[in-house]
Amino acid sequence: MKAQSKQNRTRVLAESAVMVALAAVLSMFPIYQAPLGGTVTLFSMAPILLLSLRHGTRVGILGAFAYSITQLLLGLGTIAYVPTFAGIAVCAFLDYILAFTCIGTAGFFRFESGMDRKKKLISTAVGTLTVCVLRFLCHLLSGAVVWYEITKAGDWNEYVHQVGMWLYSLVYNLQYMVPETVLLLVAVPAMVTVLDLVPKMKKRGA
């Protein structure tokens, strides 16, 4: 039993490493990139979502936290726009560490043993939508308390002078989070369906 348990932990650890690496690579090829950070990617959150749905919150949050560190490192160029140490700390925490670690909360909708495909797809859709909303709220708060003043001081965006910080942040972050969410709501259930069919296809071919 101990040997089997150790083998399972090793397998989950290896899967986590692969999923984090895959998510990081996918995030490096944005479809659209907003001027002050925020991108629409080709399903970069999907590997972490799948990891969380398959193995639960503990594994999911640990994997998501590791992914958040990669995103923080990749986003250092954007953070350089922030003029104060306090602003940098808030931005690093809200836009990167918390926003991407939230992906692991999809583990609350973990696939249970014996769950049929319909229930898996419902869990996938609800988990994906929940995660995207949580991530959006992190960016919304950061946009209001950090990026609003930076954009306003830059005097290059007329729109920011016409609206308050919350409306500015809402509109700015919706422009990339809505497409990102729609893509994930299509892609992740499709991936779950394919993964669910593979064992059955192998049995038929055996």
pTM score > 0.85 for this model?
yes
Task: Give the number of other Cβ atoms within 10 Å of residue 58's Cβ.
Answer: 12
pLDDT reading at 201 higher than 90 = no
Instruction: Say if residues 61 and 53 touch (Cβ distance below 8 Å).
Output: no
The pLDDT assigned to 35 comes to 83
Task: Give the number of other Cβ atoms within 10 Å of residue 202's Cβ.
Answer: 9
Q: Identify the weakest region by mean pLDDT among 88-92, 101-105, 149-153, 175-179.
A: 149-153
- Name the E strands within 14-100: 30-33, 39-41
pLDDT reading at 203 higher than 60 = no
Residue 206 burial (10 A CB sphere; 0-12, 13-18, 19+): exposed
Band of pLDDT at residue 47, cut at 50, 70 and 90: very high
Band of pLDDT at residue 79, cut at 50, 70 and 90: very high
